[in-house]
Amino acid sequence: MENHVNDLNKSALDLTVLRQEITAVDDEMAKLFVRRMAVSKDIADYKEANGLPTYDPKREQENLEKAKVRVPEELGGLYRKFLQMNMDLSKEYQNLKRQK
């Protein structure tokens, strides 16, 4: 019985460490998100000054194609969804900035 308790304690400790690592990654991703949105704002300003639409389907498709080589093959589909979500949020932010 004591072995089982020790195993549970070890598992809980391992899970705690793994969750701390996820939190650290989330912290880094938050900084990158803020950076991405700042660049998106600059892009919105440029597009507005030059009469360009927010959405550029060719550019978006190019980004999605590049996604295939940025991550291991098994993560390609998930990364593509992640990238699409980020591009959608960038477009949303650009539209908000252009409305002001």
Task: Domain count for the chain, please give it.
Answer: 1
CATH number, domain at 7?
A: 1.20.59.10
How big is the CA angle at 98 (ends 65 and 93), to the nearest 5 degrees? 50
What's the domain range around 67?
Answer: 2-99
32 vs 21: CA distance, rounded Å? 17
Per-residue pLDDT of the chain (100 residues; tens, 9 = 90+): 456 556 667 677 798 999 999 999 999 999 999 999 999 999 999 999 999 998 999 999 999 999 889 999 999 999 999 999 999 999 999 888 777 6
